[in-house]
Structure 1
Amino acid sequence: MEKYRKKFVLNMMEKYEEIKSGNESVPEKELYQFLHTFKGTAGTVGYEQAAEKAEALITHFDLESERSFSNEETIKLLEDVMDEIIEQAAIHNEETKETDVKRMIMLIHPNPMNLIEMKANLEKEGYLVFAAMDLSKAHTALYDMYPDCIIVDFHLIETDEFGIAKEMREKAELQFIPLILTDTVTSVSNRIKGYDFGADDFLGQDVSIEEYLLRVNHKIKKRKTVVHSVLTDELTGAFNRKFLETQLNYMRYDFVRNGDHASLVMFDIDHFKSINDGFGHLIGDQVLKKLSRYIMDEKRRTDTLIRYGGEEFVLILPDTTSSQAEKFLSRLLKGFRSKTFRVKEETFSVTFSGGVVDIDSVSSNKELLNQADEALYRAKANGRNQVVIYESNLVDSMPMKTIRIAVVDDDEIMRTLLTSQLQQFQPDGNYEIEVRSYREGESFFEDSWHQGNSSCLVLLDGIMPRMDGIEVLRKLRNESNSRYTVMMLTGRKSEKDIVKALELGADDYITKPFSIVELEARIRRLIQKMM
């Protein structure tokens, strides 16, 4: 992310300097587009304050206006926004890495206006928010993400015919996730039913937005305390062994049930006894903490790291084949062994060995752990410092399906960031992903790459020069081509614009700035629908 921050600042400064050095007036439409791009990308790469200033300024401009501003007026208008981004870039360092880990809320409500409003309020509090209008749409995402809180409309619980609400409650109980029910009326009867269902809190119509946010914040903070004290290993910060059984049960129940892949990895530090004997147990503890922190920084949000015992760890990887898990762990191994530890005048490096197994619906948890342990034993016997797969599902007679993802966005930083992230996207063994990006709608329609028989997911910016994102969406839907699944990337705050996109057939939308974690989870859900 750091390189995208730097590139964003450089690009914005170049455009600003072009304006400052020019003598011509600037059309209001161009200023609007500049600020729209600035706001969406700034927030996404971590410059929230600058994005807020741009958002406040953009309200004074009209995309349809024919007015122009003089060079002096333009510089004065943009000066405050540019000063903010320069200041934030100057103070930004690696310490901000910790603040990037935001809490995730799953928000489910059938009323789109209510959904949009509450999503915006929660995002102002610093949360990542996944929003859905019904339980079925939230069902898959429930397992793609690890929400820290689930907020559901009471009447969706009441009218659930498929047992999704019960499954949601069971998952929440399993992982200490607060389940909060909301209601558009103030009803004692509904409140009693909600608590009887298993809700941790019930927010009726009489609850103000200030109280709503306060109670949500309190529940999430309490969950963090409980998880840390009950399920976390004190030394390394990884989950402890108590969490392993329930997490494996959940993984086998959901991912395997839906035909998805998941992998179990067991690994431990090579010659750890020699480290303790040669340098002392305090240094051994430092090695354990550094390895755990390194892996937690490198893994995905949905991956689970567990300290199994002593120097041995378990890693549970959803949406990952054993082959992909082996590559991932090998990359971690290469990165960790390049690090050095210093004790007085002596330095040393550390390696680890790992065993990988595919999680299936047949083997018990104990059998899976034994299989991973056998693979780990083979890695040790083969000379350590390596990863071995216990059993591979690489032989597959089914042809590989291709899903194409087109990124259509006029901002170079956003295009590059999304393309890079999507190229690293880990699909399962049944399909592969191809990614291309386009600066505007015209070049997208001119390219024959996405016009074949393969399904195509289009990530479409809402506001672009010449052909607007809404126009691109309308043209795609007018062609009645079901191969295209469309997610709008919109900086528009207007409810009517979002509703219009949904009415025209957008399959999903996400508002800039957004989290890459949330975007990947939504893309994964859309791809599952396309398969």
Structure 2
Amino acid sequence: MRHSSGEDRTAREHRLMKEGKHKYVAELAKQLAQLREWMLSSQPDDPFESAKRIYRIVHTLKGSAPMFGFVRVGIVAQKLVDLWEWTQADAEQDQEPGSMVHYDRCMEPSGPLLRELELELDIYKRELELDDHQERVQWSFMQPSGERLLVIDDDEVLRSYLVRRLRMDGYEVDEAADVVAAEKLLRENTYHLVTLDLMMHPASGYELFEFLKDDPTLKWLPLIVLSGREDVSDKVRCFYLGADDYVTKPFQYDELAARIYSLLNRTKTFEQMAFRDPLTGVYNRRFFDNQIQVELQRSARYPGPVSLAFIDIDRFKSINDTYGHHMGDLVLQGLAHLLQDNLRNTDVLARFGGEEFVVVFPNTGGSDAKKALEHILQMAQLEPVAQNEGQPLRITFSAGVSEWVPDMDVKQWIGASDSAMYEAKQSGRNRVVLRMAGDNQEPAERPVQTSARKRVLIADDDKILRSILIAKLKHLPIDFQEAVDGEEAYEIIQQQTLHLCILDRVMPRLDGYGLLQLLSDRDQRPPEMKVMILSGRNREEDIDRGLQLGADGYMHKPFSMVELELRVKELLELA
């Protein structure tokens, strides 16, 4: 309670000082305006009385300004007090005969000093305005957005104080008095940050480092160590073990709060850059590939059901063809939002590629996962996910669900959910299909398999770019051919059936446009082969020339791999 009372008193004092500064500046403005009016007026009828009024004001300024931190005002006011001090001579002395002389002699040097006070007033006004603005900005930016913290400390007084203060700041906060209780909470809940007391009994905070490091679901959890030891070796050891920050007790709460905010914000920024799909804001394929392994490891350590769902928007290609890619993007964003709003916080939603999404349902059997998706599908049928020029656009989706069983590897699990989704497509779309472990029926095949796989030629003299394109598209039902220049690409086109040719605009021996011109002149372009041009140029005339030569698509380098995949799927009709 002493901590809390002291903190409240400090906050109260800060608030009172701030209010006092605002009132003082307002009053200072009035006083300086009065002094300016007196100094600009003609000769006063009673110079001695006027001089005493001036003295009273500057004497007040000299005494009160330093109390509010306005030191410069106090210094200048002292100079004015010294000038007008003669008004405070012994009352028995007759000041009347020499009053005008004194008055005139003091008025001239008072002018520049008054101007100096007015400049100081202007500066203080601006400082107060900036302070108010900074506080408003800081308050708006530092408002928590649902982050959940875990405070681990065996000091009940300090732990209770931190929990209350953090909750007052808007965080969800749990607490643990020892390592065992902390491990239990970490298994049961998802946290965004942990504060850990290093010196606890019976087990020290060091033991929790091993627990966090060994669990793939927790190894990246932000961790701030709170310790009463200033020892450098302790700090170094903690940082090597994975701590993100180290705060020595006793500490100011405001400093800890700022460190927590900074660490959460930085972690959120890194997550956005590395693991979020930029269009929809949900997790990306990279995060999904990592997280699905995490969930299987978690399930092995803490047995429980876990299910996986594949979701594909029905007839997405027709949306792009009818309304354009902009509307397609809005539909993807709308469905992602609908899914996020109706899934649990523990469910993992990711954009798998194109118009496909995946959901991992921890601690959920296949039947329950299917029911959850059917509920969302009903909402998609009733409520529009996007609008086109004010007209609502509704969609449906097809989904496949499978529940993981022991000895099933990730590839098999993904394949089961994927084939269940295609079974939903083949059964008429707009439905959710559950593939249970032990089903005897053969998995539904994708519409494009084996003999129906598409063959794509990538012609580019940049070996690295060819490798990147193949890596990003290899999950599609595609067989790849490669060519290092236009002449080699021409020979391959003559020998094999191709469904798509991705041509670099500039290549040695024969460039992309030269190859298109050659195929056109000799009437040798296969009718089923689509052509996409990749170019570092984005000039309108260059794009027009490519389209005139028969290109079906044109992408400007550098380009988004997500957009490339969408364009390839459209050209190959892999809806």
C-alpha spacing 1:249/1:172, structure 2 compared with 1 (3 Å)? closer
- Alpha-carbon shift at residue 321 of structure 1 (Å): 1.1
Structure 2 CA distance for aligned equivalents of residues 156 and 357 of structure 1: 45
C-alpha spacing 1:122/1:162, structure 2 compared with 1 (3 Å)? closer
Structure 2 CA distance for aligned equivalents of residues 244 and 231 of structure 1: 9
1:354 corresponds to 2:399: yes
Q: Of residues 401, 420, 436 in structure 2, which corresponds to 1:391?
A: 436
Where do 1:5-154 residues align within 5 Å?
101-154=145-198
- Alpha-carbon shift at residue 187 of structure 1 (Å): 2.5
C-alpha spacing 1:196/1:237, structure 2 compared with 1 (3 Å)? same
C-alpha spacing 1:110/1:226, structure 2 compared with 1 (3 Å)? same
Structure 1 CA distance for aligned equivalents of residues 234 and 394 of structure 2: 60
C-alpha spacing 1:380/1:226, structure 2 compared with 1 (3 Å)? same
Structure 1 CA distance for aligned equivalents of residues 324 and 419 of structure 2: 29
Instruction: In structure 1, give the amino acid aligned to 2:169.
Output: E
Q: Of residues 185, 190, 202 in structure 1, which corresponds to 2:234?
A: 190
Q: Deviations over 1:204-235 (max 9, x none)?
A: 21432121111111100100110011110000
- Alpha-carbon shift at residue 106 of structure 1 (Å): 1.9
Residues matched between the structures, number? 296
Q: Deviations over 1:133-180 (max 9, x none)?
A: 223333343244331112222235994699753231455897743111
Q: Of residues 394, 412, 417 in structure 2, which corresponds to 1:367?
A: 412
1:318 corresponds to 2:366: no
C-alpha spacing 1:162/1:344, structure 2 compared with 1 (3 Å)? closer
C-alpha spacing 1:172/1:187, structure 2 compared with 1 (3 Å)? farther
- Alpha-carbon shift at residue 192 of structure 1 (Å): 1.9
Structure 2 CA distance for aligned equivalents of residues 127 and 135 of structure 1: 22
C-alpha spacing 1:104/1:235, structure 2 compared with 1 (3 Å)? same
Specify the alignment match of 1:230 in structure 2. 274
Specify the alignment match of 2:302 in structure 1. 258
Q: Contact 2:309–2:400 at 8 Å: present in 1 too?
A: yes
C-alpha spacing 1:353/1:344, structure 2 compared with 1 (3 Å)? same
Q: Of residues 398, 402, 425 in structure 2, which corresponds to 1:380?
A: 425
Structure 1 CA distance for aligned equivalents of residues 203 and 377 of structure 2: 49
Q: Structure 1: where are the runs of 5+ without partners?
A: 1-98, 395-531
Specify the alignment match of 2:107 in structure 1. none
Specify the alignment match of 2:75 in structure 1. none
1:130 aligned counterpart, secondary structure: strand
Q: Contact 2:227–2:247 at 8 Å: present in 1 too?
A: yes
Specify the alignment match of 1:286 in structure 2. 330
Instruction: In structure 2, give the amino acid aligned to 1:233.
Output: D
1:244 corresponds to 2:319: no
Q: Contact 2:307–2:366 at 8 Å: present in 1 too?
A: yes
Structure 2 CA distance for aligned equivalents of residues 313 and 173 of structure 1: 22
Q: Contact 1:306–1:314 at 8 Å: present in 2 too?
A: yes
Q: Contact 1:184–1:205 at 8 Å: present in 2 too?
A: yes
1:216 aligned counterpart, secondary structure: helix
C-alpha spacing 1:392/1:362, structure 2 compared with 1 (3 Å)? closer
- Alpha-carbon shift at residue 263 of structure 1 (Å): 1.4
- Alpha-carbon shift at residue 312 of structure 1 (Å): 0.4
C-alpha spacing 1:117/1:161, structure 2 compared with 1 (3 Å)? closer
Structure 2 CA distance for aligned equivalents of residues 140 and 308 of structure 1: 33
Specify the alignment match of 2:346 in structure 1. 302
Instruction: In structure 1, give the amino acid aligned to 2:288.
Output: L
C-alpha spacing 1:174/1:159, structure 2 compared with 1 (3 Å)? closer
Structure 1 CA distance for aligned equivalents of residues 249 and 144 of structure 2: 33
Structure 2 CA distance for aligned equivalents of residues 393 and 158 of structure 1: 48
Q: Contact 1:252–1:360 at 8 Å: present in 2 too?
A: no
Structure 1 CA distance for aligned equivalents of residues 216 and 224 of structure 2: 10
Structure 2 CA distance for aligned equivalents of residues 329 and 159 of structure 1: 44
Q: Contact 2:198–2:206 at 8 Å: present in 1 too?
A: no
State the percentage of identical aligned residues.
29
- Alpha-carbon shift at residue 198 of structure 1 (Å): 1.3
Where do 1:270-285 residues align within 5 Å?
270-285=314-329
C-alpha spacing 1:188/1:164, structure 2 compared with 1 (3 Å)? closer
Q: Contact 2:308–2:358 at 8 Å: present in 1 too?
A: yes
Specify the alignment match of 2:495 in structure 1. none
Instruction: In structure 1, give the amino acid aligned to 2:331.
Output: V
C-alpha spacing 1:358/1:220, structure 2 compared with 1 (3 Å)? same
C-alpha spacing 1:362/1:167, structure 2 compared with 1 (3 Å)? farther
- Alpha-carbon shift at residue 127 of structure 1 (Å): 0.8
1:218 corresponds to 2:277: no
Q: Contact 2:144–2:170 at 8 Å: present in 1 too?
A: no
RMSD: 2.7
1:155 aligned counterpart, secondary structure: coil
2:359 aligned counterpart, secondary structure: strand
Bigger relative CO (Cα 8 Å, ≥ 6 apart): 1
Instruction: In structure 2, give the amino acid aligned to 1:128.
Output: E
Q: Contact 1:174–1:246 at 8 Å: present in 2 too?
A: no
Specify the alignment match of 1:165 in structure 2. 209
Q: Of residues 223, 248, 251 in structure 2, which corresponds to 1:204?
A: 248
Where do 1:460-499 residues align within 5 Å?
none
Say which one has the larger Rg.
Answer: 2
Q: Contact 1:176–1:227 at 8 Å: present in 2 too?
A: no
Q: Contact 2:373–2:432 at 8 Å: present in 1 too?
A: yes
Structure 1 CA distance for aligned equivalents of residues 406 and 353 of structure 2: 25
Structure 2 CA distance for aligned equivalents of residues 322 and 185 of structure 1: 51
Structure 1 CA distance for aligned equivalents of residues 358 and 280 of structure 2: 13
Specify the alignment match of 1:525 in structure 2. none
Q: Deviations over 1:44-102 (max 9, x none)?
A: xxxxxxxxxxxxxxxxxxxxxxxxxxxxxxxxxxxxxxxxxxxxxxxxxxxxxxx8951
Instruction: In structure 2, give the amino acid aligned to 1:309.
Output: G
Instruction: In structure 1, give the amino acid aligned to 2:235.
Output: R
- Alpha-carbon shift at residue 112 of structure 1 (Å): 2.7
1:251 aligned counterpart, secondary structure: helix
Q: Contact 1:322–1:393 at 8 Å: present in 2 too?
A: no
Structure 2 CA distance for aligned equivalents of residues 121 and 254 of structure 1: 33
Instruction: In structure 2, give the amino acid aligned to 1:350.
Output: I
Quick check: 172-181 or 362-371, which moved more? 172-181
Q: Contact 1:264–1:358 at 8 Å: present in 2 too?
A: yes
Instruction: In structure 1, give the amino acid aligned to 2:388.
Output: V
Instruction: In structure 1, give the amino acid aligned to 2:432.
Output: V
Structure 1 CA distance for aligned equivalents of residues 304 and 204 of structure 2: 25
Structure 2 CA distance for aligned equivalents of residues 254 and 329 of structure 1: 23
- Alpha-carbon shift at residue 267 of structure 1 (Å): 0.7
